[in-house]
Amino acid sequence: MLTFLARVVPGCLLATACLAASGCTSANSEDGHLYVFLRPLFYSAVHQPSGLRALLGSKVCFDAGIPESGDTLFDGIEACYDMAIAGVPIADGDCVILDQPSGVQVDYTPRADCPVEEVELGLLPDRFRVEGVPVDGLRARLEWHMEHWAEHLGERLSSRPADLIPDADEPLRLVPDVVVGYPVNVIDAAGERVGWDLSQGRVLEAKGGDPARTLTPIEDADTLWPVRVGAGEQSTITLEVAGAVLPVATVVATPVEQAASLEIVAAFNGEPFGARAIVRDGEGRVIVGAPVEWSLVEGELVLTSVDDFTPPEYTIIADDCVPPPAATESRRAVLRARLGELSDELEIEWMAMPPEEVSDEPFSPDPACQRGTGPAGDDGLGDRGCNCASRAGAGGGNWTWLAALTLMLGGRRRRGGG
């Protein structure tokens, strides 16, 4: 029988807060009417759908909200729904221990007295399910959450290299002294995720012959763990959970001088979204943390880094430099990524749409706007517009920008050696 625990999370969700950093604006319940938080259960930094599997023995707290327009949740869930597990009433935020393979299902039944006018949508019955699995035969891996966010929110990628997300057994080749933040997934033999209890698990790191030490999550981002190696070092990362120690990754210090090629991949869903410069060594193996420099050859776009724990080969792109058009119009830009003598260029095109509502406020370009510098043959120091690309969101969530930006790409690629 499932063990019920005391409520440990507040039932009130911040209805006016932007919750994109946890992906909460996209309903994840069985029928798509609710967003359900599962802390301390962790499944993915990007999406936690109903029906997910989680380790037996994990604690699951069901804290729900009703998605509204934009990036908000209506916090009056208990005024709108009765909640029950196997017919037993529960309160929003109550927790259970997942102690049977059949798992647990929370049923949400609409209340007749819900203030529907506040949530601007009809209320329908819904449910959220979590299945239980034993730890036997499982392992862990780093989640390439930026790529998963692009896949989750984007309509498509400009290309899909086989190594966009390296295999779980592939070492993480990291430039020395670069700190990168990663979530940690538990996966089965097929690579499918299994949720785990953040309060019961420990991420461990061992270097050389030293004893393993516990890695502390990044401050204000409790599902991101900092990964770093010094020159010449190699580390082994493991996850201790459910009475087992699961392999996560081997991290190998890889000097940036080993970089031999560079390729831009961009994600698309309406308007400019984001891009990554995939850096590879002479054997075609991905290197993370190289000091890639981003610029524009043509066009005007926001180009800015993500945060302090996402390496510089990722960039935010946004069409926030020129006023929105009065009618749909085609726009174009050419991205450039450069690493020493290596460079790649990608031409992108998108359809800029008129605003849904006309504002009386004058248009103001984003301070991180850049303007095209000209063909690859120039010195790279041409007119860069405001030339003020900044470190956006430092200390914040790695994926907040993804929930607000969209992009559709069609393009031709030009590569150069310098």
Residue 360: predicted pLDDT: 83
Give CA–CA dist 43/186, Å, rounded. 8
Residue 370 has pLDDT above 90, yes or no: yes
Q: Are 256 and 280 contacting, i.e. CB atoms less than 8 angstroms apart?
A: no
pLDDT tens figures, 197-227: 999 999 999 998 889 999 999 998 889 999 9
Q: How far is CA 361 from CA 353, 364, 404, in A?
A: 18, 9, 20
Distance CA 94, CA 106 (A): 11
pLDDT of residue 403: 34
Q: Within 10 A of 26 (CB to CB), how many other CB atoms are there?
A: 15
Report pLDDT digits (tens) over 158-171: 899 999 999 999 99
| Of 12-16, 91-95, 109-113, 273-277, the least confident | 12-16
At residue 6, the pLDDT reads 43
Read off the pLDDT of residues 249-261 as tens digits, 9 standing for 90 and up. 999 999 999 999 9
Q: Write out the H or E segment, with its range, that includes residue 251.
A: strand 244-253
**Strand arrangement of the beta sheet that strand 73-74 belongs to:** 35-37, 63-67, 73-74
Res. 48 pLDDT band, cuts 50 70 90: very high
- Please name the residue that has the structure tokens 């081997």: 250
Residue 3: Cβ within 10 Å count? 10
Would you give the distance in Å from CA 178 to the centre of its chain?
A: 19
Among 339, 338, 335, residue whose Cα is nearest residue 348 = 335
- Per-residue confidence (pLDDT) for residue 336, from 0 to 100: 97
Report for 374-378, 379-383, 385-389: range of highest mean pLDDT: 374-378
- Residue 418 is predicted with a pLDDT of 38
For the ranges 153-162, 195-204, 373-382, 396-405, the one whose mean pLDDT is highest: 195-204
pLDDT greater than 70 at residue 8: no
Q: Residue 230 has which token pair?
A: 């010094």
Cα 150 from chain centroid (whole Å):
8
Q: What's the pTM?
A: 0.83
Q: Which residue has the higher pLDDT, 360 or 247?
A: 247
Of 126, 40, 29, nearest to 83 by C-alpha is 126
State what percent of residues in the chain have pLDDT above 90.
66
Tens of pLDDT, residue by residue over 9-40, are 332 222 222 222 333 357 899 999 899 999 99
Q: Which residues of 350-373 are buried (b: 16+ CB within 10 A; e: fewer)?
A: bebeeeeeeeeeeeeebebbbbbb
The answer to whether 61 and 38 are in contact (CB under 8 A) is yes
Q: Pick 118 or 306 by higher pLDDT.
A: 306
Report d(CA 109, CA 64) in Å as an integer: 13
Compute how many other C-beta atoms are within 10 angstroms of the C-beta atom of residue 272.
30
Pairwise CA distance, residues 125 & 289, whole Å: 46
Does residue 7 surpass a pLDDT of 60?
Answer: no
